[in-house]
Structure 1
């Protein structure tokens, strides 16, 4: 993979921030967008802006073809068996909530259990907390090893015949842990439970095959994979989706409306009420084309090498604590002696280096780590070893600065 050629396709990277060349290390929060995606959005609004499915005029047909064509690209990208299994949502959060509110409320009761992990993003914790409160079900947590990986030797203690839903992130947005979701799906199915995978941090960075994983639901967001904000996907096995009721009602998702009752369209449209995120879906389709052209295997290998290189370089910086396992995705989360992560991020930003600081929407994991917050550098296909070197140089400068202030 020619990273420098890739970088040239991202207009935002060719700028200075605070007088320094931008080093963007926050792709786990949101990725930057290549010119092709930006141009696709512009083209839609300039040339064929129209609602989908409802009109027979030329613009409506072009918009519908673009919208549904992107759905087919998504189907191939994650290897779903049918476009009926690909539901457009506003993002990972909406997708998980849809499953909790539709499948969960219909199938769980006071004797049932939901199983997740302490490393989950809040978007994969709060919907299950609320479902547990609404149904009387219990919320249980898989145990983690010291390195932040799931203790697979103890899963049978947590996933039992009372388990109805197992919901686990594919890749941790804090630790970079790559979870064995295929094995967890098998454990869930052994006990008659369904498996939901939060794929927000995996889908942009590695090849995903939902049929191989044998997950029942898989959720991800466009904005983390070079696509527009405000659009995402819920994959679900057809039989499960057919049995589920929609949770949003209105135009577009109906078949027949009477004065007292209504019926729903077939899949996937029964879950897509109202005017959808048309431009966003088309932009996501173009982002998928872009990622496929580069190659997901090459992207994954590149990010793995950057993460390993970063961890090796950080060993040379005194007072740095890195969290998570040795084998990880392209995420390095750390703390720097007694310097608050927000202060670390502020000093780095003065040199044009963008990292994330805070609890990363993972407060239970922060408690498990026994910290209030951390700083995080996350890498993507457009990052280089030079970016890592600049980042490490910035950390040394940060330590010197606070050493002078408090020393």
Structure 2
């Protein structure tokens, strides 16, 4: 019973604020997943071109670069819980974009809500990691890794599961109303979590520590490696993930939405299950094993490369396996980031890692979109992802332990 999931259960039993925080992000995850289903479902129903579908993934990510800068600066002036409450309020207001998109049949408005959510996700990431680093002991950090992974996966897993059932059964405006209710529930849970924060875990003097900026030149090799793991994953994974709706169009041209939404669900199920295979005491060792990390990334690319050759049901299984592997890397990278930096450094370090991750994914997604428009999605997947993997091999060897 030394898995990450067991570590999370133990931490949840010990900390009321963590239980409330988990509930808050559960609400948000359901709402964001519903919005994502609605956005991609409407784009596919409106016959959006493959290049726009690929760029939709970019627009759902690139603003996070600016958001992490804002979040890092705000963490130096405000408590992390206040910053998380602010992002939820702004997320609720951002639902005006899909409302306009539905009313005026505007693809631009649908992409705008994706961009806003990306900005707010980048803004909240430094606050969330700072809260974990201050509120949990060193031994409980694997629990934070598991919770962050489950938040990341459930955003689509729970919301997509509901969205797949409800998308063609209910009007889009009704789905949007459900999303608004999830934001209200999340705000309530965060406010309750804020009232529980005085009972935070040991070393509460850390709560008064002012976050400081980290500088690359002053970092140890292990810290540099920790900052690079998530950007490396983004470089390899973003071309495949950006092309997923376009690959669905290629497999089922008559019913792309009917396949794309189950593929998104299979993706998130793999994201959720992958980290749960890990044992908490193995995380420090895995963070330094290039062979394991590269094997997972290679399996991810191989699985995605076979999708166009398979039927719809087979493609679901392959996507699940691909993200089972990739999110092992995500869990290792997240733990490495949390454990390699002190509490006063972690918001700056996580903000920097988020920006590099966003820049890495954006660059490779842009290349993928350009190549997909000229040579097709399959050629773009093979070419861009293979180059990204070679770059990651060199980077991990350079900063290996």
TM-score by length of 1: 0.28
TM-score by length of 2: 0.29
Q: Which structure is higher in helix share?
A: 2
- Return the index of the structure with the highest Cα Rg: 1
Q: Which structure is higher in strand share?
A: 1
